[in-house]
Structure formats: structure tokens, C-alpha cells
Chains A and B, each alone.
Chain A
């Protein structure tokens, strides 16, 4: 069974540009979570999509947005990039079939975004 995949692996942008990151969850998983991991700051929750809808978002400005497609893959868009957006962006997926209490998150390898 294929794991969570993310593309691209690395992305280099300049300040003010826009970045699009992609995530494909494990087959059968309906929930996708996006996290930002900047150096020394742990995992900061960005967005949660389930069944095509945004369920929750973390404390990030509106220029961080995304969507989930009918096949449950997801995109994270970051507009008007700032230097401090440089980080590893991780996507995780969970199954929608298990009971809510027992839902392990499976992570992808991440996209390393560098803003110059």
C-alpha cells in the first residue's frame, strides 16, 4: 500500500510569490491535515480537510489556504510569500472509517519550502 505522497520535495521561491504544495493521502483515507514545521518550532497545525470540506484551521493568516479534491488529494497554497514562511510543510492523512477516537495520522515526507 502506498503511503502519503507530497510534491514537490523542494520548492524555492522569492518573497511575494505564490507557492502550491500537493498531497496525496493513503488510498481510502478521507482526511488530510497540513502542518508547518519551522526550525525549532515543532509542528504547527495549518489546515484540516475531510470529505472535501475545510474542518478547521490553525492560527495562520488567510494567505495560507487550500482545498481538497473529490479524490481526497489536497493542495496547500501560500500567497504573498514571506521569508518566515520557509519551513518543512507536512501533510498527514487519516482514515475516515475508523472510530473517531482511534485515528493515527500517517505523514508524508514533506515539502521543503525556501523563500529567498
Chain B
């Protein structure tokens, strides 16, 4: 079936280091969304990418959607302790309203 693989599962960095998480889909996606879940919280929408090769930035966060619309990445520059949490990608195949979720990357930041 349709799958979205997300790597790495865990990442531990020193504050100030960069961080990247990657998502790879088994099928072409019409769009991909990214969510952040703080410890003890619920997932909160960060961004949606729709166009092939699209790059979007939110302050220190850079989101990319691959040319083939099968992969995506989230890069955080100079991590801060406030970045701690689990980052999920979720892709939508075709015009299906159902999202296919990655298992998430848990980020820990040492101050």
C-alpha cells in the first residue's frame, strides 16, 4: 500500500547545530504537509508544499518538495531548545483527502 517513510527516527543535537528530517513516499503526492508535536502536546500544522521543487522558509526552518513530488525535507538551521519535539510529514496521494503519515522524527536539543 501507500507509504511515507521518514528518517531518522530520532536525532539528538547540540544547540546551534543544524537538523534535517527526510520523507520519502512510495507514490507521487499532490501535496505534503509538515506538523510539529511538542512533548505532551498534539500535532500542529507547520506548512504545506504543493508544487514540484517548491522551497518554503519559516525563519530558521526550510521545507523542500522534490521535483518528482515523492520526497520532502525539513531543515532547521541553528537549532534551539524550543525546536524540541517530533516532526511529522503527511502526504496526500492524488486528490484523496486522506493523509498518509510518516512515523515522525523526534528531535532532542542539548542546551
Contacts and interface: CB of A to CB of B under 8 A. Distances in A.
A100 B42 contact: no
A115 B106 CA distance: 26
Contacts of A102: 31, 48, 50
A9 B30 CA distance: 35
Interface in A71-106: 90, 92, 94, 100-106
A45 B102 CA distance: 11
A96 to B, nearest CB: 9
Given A42-B88, A101-B92, A102-B48, A48 B43 contact: no
B97 A42 contact: no
Interface string B71-95: 0000000000000000010101001
A17 interface: no
A109 B42 contact: yes
A100 B30 CA distance: 10
Contacts, number: 52
A107 B44 contact: yes
Contacts of A100: 95, 97
A14 interface: no
A41 interface: yes
Given A43-B43, A102-B48, A48 B98 contact: yes
Interface of B: 30-31, 33, 35, 41-45, 48, 50, 88, 90, 92, 95, 97-99, 101-104
18 contacts: A42-B88, A42-B104, A43-B43, A43-B88, A43-B101, A45-B101, A55-B97, A56-B98, A90-B43, A92-B43, A94-B97, A100-B95, A100-B97, A101-B30, A104-B33, A104-B45, A109-B42, A110-B42
